[in-house]
A and B are shown apart, each in its own frame.
Chain A
Amino acid sequence: MPDSPDAVREFEARIAAGETIEPKDWMPDRYRKQLIRMMSQHAHSEVVGMLPEGNWITRAPTLRRKLGLLAKVQDEAGHGLYIYCGTETLGIDRAELVDQLLAGKAKYSSIFNYPTLTWADIGAIGWFVDGAAIVNQTMLAKASYGPYARAMVRICKEENFHKRQGYEIMATLSAGTPEQKRIAQDAVNRWWWPSLMMFGPSDKDSPNSAELTRWGIKRKGNDELRQRFVNLTVGQAVAIDLVLPDPELRHDAETGNWHFGPIDWDEFTRVVHGDGPLNRERLAARQDAHRAGAWVRDAAVAHAAKRAAAADAVAKSAAA
């Protein structure tokens, strides 16, 4: 049944008045669908995002770094779980969302299809990828849907910590031996452009932007957020003597922004559509974990059923 125009008008008036939409409130079907799409993509990104960094947990160079990285990847699992729960408030099951991911039908942030080649990548991911995520999520913390906005507030706090940790790794490497400096610069060279792509296509080319903006799910455009991230990051790179790989990067006195060169959107499209360096490996890793864990999940269900039956039998014999 299509949404009644009156109901949509009333809903949009609420959004315009800055009200927060809660799970039990009426919402247009498209609003619900867009949120499920966005929130589940976000949750999937947290879970797939565990893989590139998890790749270095067993090789972290000191006990302190090992603890820091392990805690960070654990936080990502926690974020994934938290956002899946938030998505469930829209009337969809986590199991269904996970099935969509495993079937290759759901998207996740393309940046996680790039490989982590050296320890410096762990620094670069914290600094750039978490840094970009914070810019995006700070905006989403004001989203019109209450459960999503509240999840973002909480997650942003932890992401800030992750970003500082990543930046500190890079600062240490940059000030280290020539070989450490070399891997730091190489990681910057590889992660910079994919990080800029994280904000998505330019708003004029972004199929969902207009609707998301009208409904207060997104409060700022992709280009505006990307520019904000660049402006924040340029000075940070200078401070630790690393060079962002963009010959066109220059300060524009008129706008106050850092002008940056053209983004390779062909690469972005290619990776989104499955031909990034590790799309197949990432999905296979999730599928393998899910398949290998099937007997564990079955056992938990079977055991719970036995417990419930036993409790039932006790209750019956007590009543008799």
Chain B
Amino acid sequence: MPRPAASSVGRPIAVTASDSTTRSALVQFLLRLGDDRLVLGHRLSEWCGHGPILEEDIALANIALDLVGQAALLLDLAGATEDAGRDGDALAYLREAIDYRNVLLVELPKGDFAFTVVRQFLFSVAAYYQLEGIARSTQTDLAGIAAKALKETRYHVRHAGEWVIKLGDGTDESHARTQSALDGLWRYTGEMFQTDAVDAALVGAGLVPDLTTVEPRWLAQVTDVIERATLTIPAAGYMQRGGRSGRHTEHLGIMLAEMQILQRSYPGAKW
């Protein structure tokens, strides 16, 4: 999996409007995108060797590779933009849970196969429409990463969507498990579309297009697949949030403890 060397760290990044507010908003935005992918990729990688069929071990590992690969690029770019001497690895392995900026949706434990594919579908459809917009960013490094990620995400949407339909419209048991996964996950979907001052600063500076059209497009596609899967969209209710400001579930700290153990145990070592 090719990725740029960490040597890009320290290289001043060409932020079009290079004032410090825009720069720090861009760093936050990149952390959000990168953390979503790192945490979800990590969760998917937990399936490796334990999938329901060998083909799915391969497919889930493939999606995990794409997501962690995207995260590596995004976090390296976040580090370079921040210009404080941190590369992607420092950001991934040496931040606390309260510094992570991923949505809560992606940090929930992997659950059963229905939970994993429903979450993947809900996330990937949103990611697809977001990346479509971000690929038009005037920040060319970011636009390039988004364009590459968009191609990968098209496959993730298709793969997860096909499974949602197969499981929803499969047996009674698979239907019940998939509906239960959807019911459990629905309250975490709103956070993916939440916007705040970070988005406003970047849209204002012309670095990122306005992404408010993502949610209706997401809902239309999700509804279509859910209906074909003979499943029911859960009733609207309170949407959990907090990940974007570091207010996470208890699951993230445990996940990071595992992920970060070597970097934490051997400070400064090279791997």
Contact = CB atoms under 8 A, between A and B. Distances in A.
A58 B65 contact: no
A70 B170 contact: no
A298 B72 contact: no
A299 interface: yes
Given A58-B46, A63-B89, A70-B65, A77 B58 contact: yes
B157 interface: no
Contacts, number: 147
B94 to A, nearest CB: 11
B138 interface: no
7 A-B pairs with the lowest CB-CB distances in the bound complex, closest first: A293-B52, A299-B170, A299-B174, A296-B52, A61-B262, A54-B49, A74-B61
A65 interface: yes
Q: Quick one: which of B46, B48, B169 has the most chain A CB within 10 A?
A: B48
Interface string B21-60: 0000000000000000010001001101111111111100
A57 B45 CA distance: 7
Nearest to B57: A77
B171 A298 contact: yes
B238 interface: no
Contact of A299 (B61, B62, B68, B166): B166
Contacts of A57: 45-46, 48
Contacts of A293: 51-53, 56, 113
Given A78-B58, A172-B270, A303-B165, A61 B65 contact: no
Interface string B166-182: 11011101100100000
B171 A299 contact: yes
Contact of A285 (B49, B68, B166): B49
A64 B262 contact: no
A84 B263 CA distance: 39
B233 to A, nearest CB: 20
Contacts of B56: 293, 296
Contacts of A302: 170-171, 174
A77 B262 CA distance: 26
A129 to B, nearest CB: 16
A177 interface: yes
Contacts of A59: 258-259, 261-262
A315 B89 CA distance: 56
A292 B52 contact: yes
B271 A65 contact: yes
Interface of B: 1, 3, 38, 42, 45-46, 48-58, 61-62, 64-65, 68-69, 71-72, 75, 88-89, 92-93, 112-113, 165-167, 169-171, 173-174, 177, 258-259, 261-263, 266, 269-271
Contacts of B92: 63
Contact of A74 (B50, B58, B170, B263): B58
Contacts of A294: 52
Interface of A: 47, 50-51, 54, 57-68, 70-71, 73-74, 77-78, 80-81, 84, 119, 169, 172-173, 176-177, 179-180, 285, 288-289, 292-300, 302-303, 306
Q: Quick one: which of B46, B61, B171, B263 has the most chain A CB within 10 A?
A: B61
22 contacts: A47-B54, A57-B48, A58-B42, A64-B72, A67-B1, A70-B65, A74-B62, A81-B54, A84-B54, A176-B271, A177-B266, A179-B269, A180-B269, A289-B50, A292-B113, A293-B51, A293-B113, A295-B174, A296-B56, A300-B166, A302-B170, A303-B170
Given A62-B263, A74-B65, 7 more contacts: A58-B45, A60-B262, A74-B62, A172-B270, A289-B50, A296-B56, A300-B166
A73 B49 contact: yes
